Amino acid sequence: MANTDETTPARPLRADARRNRDRLLTVATELLADSHGQLSLEAVARTADVGIATLYRHFPTREALVLAVYNHEMEQLGRRAGELLTSHGPDEALARWLGELSQYGMTRPGVSDAFRAAALSHDEVVHHTYTHITTALTHLLHAAADTGSTRTDIGADDLLPAVCGTWELPDTPAARQQAARLVGLLLDGLHTTP
């Protein structure tokens, strides 16, 4: 995927174009969850009730559409960290958020590949997607460290690859239990005292 030209400011979308883009993202999100990573652009356009040319104007490739879906979901997951911190203590918020992140990836085949690419890519959209998660995780880690209960030498870039390893597991009840045990193991390693 080509890099965005950083010298050209993005123009705001017209209201009808914004509605089409939002509808395409909503439909793509729903279909991606059921497609086992094999999203059909034609099915997205048909279900969103727009022409394929409209889809390509907003998302020139399948990869661009999938990344836009992931970016949208990562924004939501990033906001979730703040919600958890307002309703739970920092340790509990961190544990719940890591569990949700783990479960999210297991239901999205291919997202682990996208995050691996994000760690190395200079693509603006991919980097932005990765940043949503590292920023949220950093906030949670700092909140937990401020209580004195967790280590301060582990950052989001250290912990995230370990959690994302659970994304390789299939979305089955047994694998979800295994992922929960692995997240628990990671949390145990973060505590300053046994």
Distance of CA 171 to the CA centre of its chain: 16
Domain membership flag for residue 136: yes
How far, in Å, CA of 161 to CA of 156, rounded?
9
* 174 pLDDT higher than 50: yes
Examine the domain organization and report whether 77 and 34 are in the same domain.
no
Greatest CA separation found in the chain?
58
Domain end point (choices 22, 42, 60): 60
- In the prediction, which pLDDT does 15 show? 83
Q: What does pLDDT average to over the chain?
A: 85
Examine the domain organization and report whether 105 and 54 are in the same domain.
no
Q: Is 150 helix (H, G, I), strand (E, B) or coil?
A: strand
Examine the domain organization and report whether 54 and 70 are in the same domain.
no
CATH for 177? 1.10.357.10
Examine the domain organization and report whether 48 and 76 are in the same domain.
no
* 111 pLDDT higher than 80: no
- In the prediction, which pLDDT does 106 show? 86
Examine the domain organization and report whether 53 and 128 are in the same domain.
no
Domain membership flag for residue 122: yes
* 64 pLDDT higher than 90: no
Domain membership flag for residue 5: no
The residue range of the domain holding 22 is 12-60
* 114 pLDDT higher than 60: yes
CA of 187: how far to CAs of 82, 148, 149, in Å?
Answer: 19, 14, 11
In the chain, the number of structural domains is 2
Query: Dihedrals φ, ψ of 31, to 5°?
Result: -70, -35
How far, in Å, CA of 132 to CA of 74, rounded?
6
Give the dihedral sign, CA 103/107/108/109: positive
CA of 19: how far to CAs of 26, 27, 53, 174, in Å?
Answer: 10, 12, 15, 40
Examine the domain organization and report whether 28 and 109 are in the same domain.
no
Average pLDDT over residues 122-148: 86
pLDDT in tens, 4-44: 444 344 566 688 888 999 999 999 988 887 766 678 899 99
Q: How does residue 1 score in pLDDT terms, banded at 50, 70 and 90?
A: very low
Domain membership flag for residue 30: yes
